Structure 1
Amino acid sequence: MYLDKFKLTGKVAVVTGAARGIGLSAVEALAEAGATVVLTDMNPDLLAASTAGMREKGFSVDSEQLDVTDVARVQSVHDAIVARHGRVDILVNNAGIAISNHPAETMADDVWNKVVDVNLNGLFWCCRAFGRSMLERQSGSIVNVGSMSGFIVNRPQEQANYNASKAAVHHLTRSLAAEWGARGVRVNAVAPTYIDTDMNKYVYDDADMYKHWVGGTPMNRMGRPEEVASVILFLASDASSLMTGSIVLADGGYVCW
């Protein structure tokens, strides 16, 4: 009974920023649970390689190139996916960027706007487009990738733009959950710690940053993409059927200190 709740057989899932890192791990987790997964990413070469890699593992996957900040493209990708697959049951909003080490008092407008445009605006465009058709069917699960940075202020790097965008993602998650909960669509978020991806490996060469990142975590390590993907699978599946508007920390205990 309980293990069956994690199964996604017959479901159609879409993952943004799916070509690497947490996104690609989420694709594998959802596909392993039985879903047909559509990878979306703005990098065509990485997208093609990652899609091929998932097919080599025997998973049912599809792909669409997508820049989430292009609102018209978001809608056209939604329409194309629904035309091919009939519907979308699960949306994982993983696409996001960080531009750090920019003190607030000298942060350029474009540095602020770029992060907010991807992390918040792009996520909302996807929620709106895919959520609308989920509401029509009165069924769907949306999982947003927030961050522990929506709860705390990171150090030593200055990144007011990123922190504010992820806090906004958390509250947008709650807002959509409140609006859509009685209409069959659940909206939750996972809030990860620092994850050991290619983008973050530079921390091992920066003793001061490593002290704050890893030394500031009770588990004394960074997270792994598959650990976040496991939470995404839980939130996407019926195993979390009573949850909506939840922000699930997967932070190794970072916010405890």
Structure 2
Amino acid sequence: MAARLSLRASALLRSNPRVVVPRLSNVRYSSDIPTRSPKTLPAFSMEGKVCLVTGAARGLGNEFCRAFVQSGCTTMAIVDLKESEAKEAAKELTELACVNSDLKEEDVRIIGIECDVSSELSVQRAYAETLTAFGRVDSVVASAGIVENYAAFDYPFDRIKRLYDINVHGAFFTAREAARNMIPQGGGSIVLVASMSANIINIPQPQTPYNASKAAVRHMASSLAVEWAKKNVRVNVLSPGYMATKLTRTILNHDPELKKTWESLTPMGRIGEPDDLSGAIVYLASDASRFMTGSEIRVDGGYTII
């Protein structure tokens, strides 16, 4: 690839000596060389969409919000357990939307909302606040979730109940309220975030309730997809593999052997970066996937195929 890039650079320089060619040491792919603005299939645009994302103040949920903003979304509800963190994330995303664009902060409407997704009433209040602010919701991502590692015999019941209340019941409440508001407006897209753990058994860490909760989310999406298909409300699943979130990096920094194990079990030989999910989440939330429902996209570096 380097040889091809060098030849291309030479040709550019011969035809126009004023062309500045980027240093190849900083280029990952040929598409990284700046040329004209990239053309994208219009259906992938999130411009004009009103989005709501739970668990969005940090981690993967926040990465999904960044992907929507970078795809043109300027109207979004950041939903998380702590209001202060949700509002701070909304502020940061508003600033991001204005970078390298003609937008000003007053052109961007991103709000932070406090919500405990394990409470149906709290979820209903979050949607009510979103509808009051924006009048509609087009794309919803149920990203709020927790994971814990206990051996089955040692897992405290109160922790199991809390995990299911957030991962399973929270996803259901989020999806149900989304559909209640989407059906009268003519449809919308709901993405439930599961995990590759819905399909395989993770090793070496024990996490039976988590795995079962994500399998429930995956099948929940399929069931809801059938129930709401004729109402034009699509329900799909995004299942990440091991992703290098801030929390995961902290864990692996203290346990390098676990990192080696995870990498060795992943055919691509690495842990995923959070932005490796950006294309998939935009696809599922946008009109690009308009004839897709009840499906799962696994972004796991090939982990589940062996």
TM-score (structure 2 length as normaliser): 0.81
Could you tell me which residue of structure 2 aligns to residue 41 of structure 1?
80
The answer (yes or no) to whether the contact 1:26–1:229 under 8 Å persists in 2 is yes
For residues 80-119 of structure 1, give each alpha carbon's deviation from its aligned partner in whole angstroms, at most 9, with x where no partner exists: 111210100010000000011x111232111211111100
For residues 202-224 of structure 1, give each alpha carbon's deviation from its aligned partner in whole angstroms, at most 9, with x where no partner exists: 12332432232111101111111
Q: 2:68 aligns with which of 6, 30, 45?
A: 30
Amino acid at match of 2:60: I
State the 1:128 CA deviation.
0.9
Could you tell me which residue of structure 2 aligns to residue 72 of structure 1?
121
For residues 113 and 278 of structure 2, what CA distance do their matches in structure 1 show? 20
Q: How does 1:88-237 map to 2 (within 5 A)?
A: 88-100=137-149, 102-201=150-249, 202-237=251-286
For residues 285 and 137 of structure 2, what CA distance do their matches in structure 1 show? 12
The answer (yes or no) to whether the contact 2:238–2:296 under 8 Å persists in 1 is yes
Partner secondary structure for residue 219 of structure 1: coil
5+ unaligned residues in a row in structure 1: which ranges? Answer: none
The answer (yes or no) to whether the contact 1:19–1:50 under 8 Å persists in 2 is yes
More relative contact order in 1 or in 2 (CA 8 Å, sep 6+)? 1
For residues 35-79 of structure 1, give each alpha carbon's deviation from its aligned partner in whole angstroms, at most 9, with x where no partner exists: 211111112332222111111122541121111012111111111
Could you tell me which residue of structure 2 aligns to residue 6 of structure 1?
44
Could you tell me which residue of structure 2 aligns to residue 244 of structure 1?
293
For residues 188 and 208 of structure 1, what CA distance do their matches in structure 2 show? 34
Distance 1:2 1:239, change over 3 A: farther
For residues 209 and 60 of structure 1, what CA distance do their matches in structure 2 show? 41
Which of structures 1 and 2 has the bigger CA Rg?
A: 2
For residues 96 and 51 of structure 1, what CA distance do their matches in structure 2 show? 20
Identity of aligned residues (%): 38
Amino acid at match of 1:39: I
The answer (yes or no) to whether the contact 2:89–2:112 under 8 Å persists in 1 is no
Q: 2:93 aligns with which of 44, 54, 61?
A: 54
Q: 1:17 aligns with which of 52, 55, 58?
A: 55
For residues 212 and 136 of structure 1, what CA distance do their matches in structure 2 show? 49
The answer (yes or no) to whether the contact 1:39–1:62 under 8 Å persists in 2 is yes
For residues 168 and 188 of structure 1, what CA distance do their matches in structure 2 show? 13
State the 1:2 CA deviation.
6.5
CA RMSD of aligned residues (A): 1.4
Amino acid at match of 2:81: M
Instruction: Show structure 1 runs of 4+ deviating over 3 A.
Output: none
